[in-house]
Structure 1
């Protein structure tokens, strides 16, 4: 078992991680609204994925900057009030609108605890803090259909077992009309996840004032289906 490496770190053995992963996975499948279980599963099953994401970030100039500067998206690092005052359709305005609709803030997500490497813990933190930006970029709501589609995108791009499991099991929970929409737009998700820019290499804080259509085009993303309507 490693020593404590960062403030919220909880050192665990491989066996302890396996037990935590199994228990949290079952809880997350049965109760997908349990954010603590989803977070625990994400961390304890990401051991072989995080180094690959880190390597892809190191191979990209913008990704390297993120790893070097380690920006955080927290209540004390960004001003939601400033984002709310930005023009409609910009990343900043639509991200703030998304959070307001959800009645949450950037700091609401749990801290990383079970990743036994400082650099990889930051990668996990960065993923967690940018998840709502993926929703905003892909124009996906936080209902079960939107979450499933984002999880499929993340699972294909990043390879997190938590995303793959959530996408697969979540699809079975869809209502008939949602399942029809999911099947209709699955090709869009798969195609764009495979052919768009690796989203972990996007320094989101530099694009607050960028129009979402322009940003999607620069990331090689097709315009998303109108699931919000």
Structure 2
């Protein structure tokens, strides 16, 4: 296991396990999570949302590496999609538990993944993050959702992105990210996902475009449709389970590794 970066809670903070030690600490933890989302939110009128969406779209096309612009585009164009996801979560037992607990995929709460057995889902996630020197704390906050509930759903969608990379065995190169955006579109119908795929294919060289269209695109469409509702999975409760078992349980089809 590559252990480039460990995600244990820093000294002086409340660890995830301690949040369950008493009713008072649970309340404190819930308040902290809610306050974090509330502080990040920026209320916008409809014309302001349209202006941010247009500016973000132009900026993201000019500089596709601007994660903040891509995030803003996803938020300002994705409200109907996030509302549908929210309703699906409310109808699912695990989805309701997620909405009630509001877990966060941040280092304080997922650092224990490093200590899990090698075959587990959590350990695979830790390897994925560590081998790339990624931190779960690096994602930009959600700012442009109208309600705290929608802001949390958008936050959850953003934070489980690397968990989906792990489950589907997708790399973080241009082909891997584009393929995952196809899966995200099949799961959530976010316009930003399809725009990202279009933008990605424009930047492919001829070999990459051929590989993506022939192998990864049809696989991603099938994988996104066949698997369970990924936004209704309480991933943190399954970290200690065998990776291959959870893939089978959730209908995950791993990505093609060496297409001919």
User: Could you state the TM-score of these two structures normalised by the residue count of structure 2?
Assistant: 0.81
1:78 aligns with one of 98, 110, 113: 110
| Alignment pair present for 1:55 and 2:90 | no
Out of 36, 39, 50, the position equivalent to 2:71 is 39
TM-score normalised by the chain length of structure 1: 0.91
CA distance in 2, matches of 1:163, 1:221: 19
Structure 1 gaps of 5+ residues are none
RMSD: 1.6
Alignment of 1:77-226 (within 5 A): 77-79=109-111, 82-183=112-213, 184-226=215-257
Rg larger for: 2
Q: CA deviation at 1:205?
A: 0.1
| Count of residues in Structure 1 that have an aligned counterpart in Structure 2 | 222
Q: Name segments (4+ residues, structure 1) moved above 3 Å.
A: none
Moved more, 149-158 or 211-220: 211-220
Q: Using the TM superposition, give the Cα deviation of residue 12 of structure 1 relative to its aligned residue in structure 2, in angstroms.
A: 0.8
Structure holding more helix per residue: 2
- Gaps of at least 5 residues in structure 2 are 1-36
Does structure 1 retain, via aligned residues, the 8 Å contact 2:136–2:159? Answer: yes
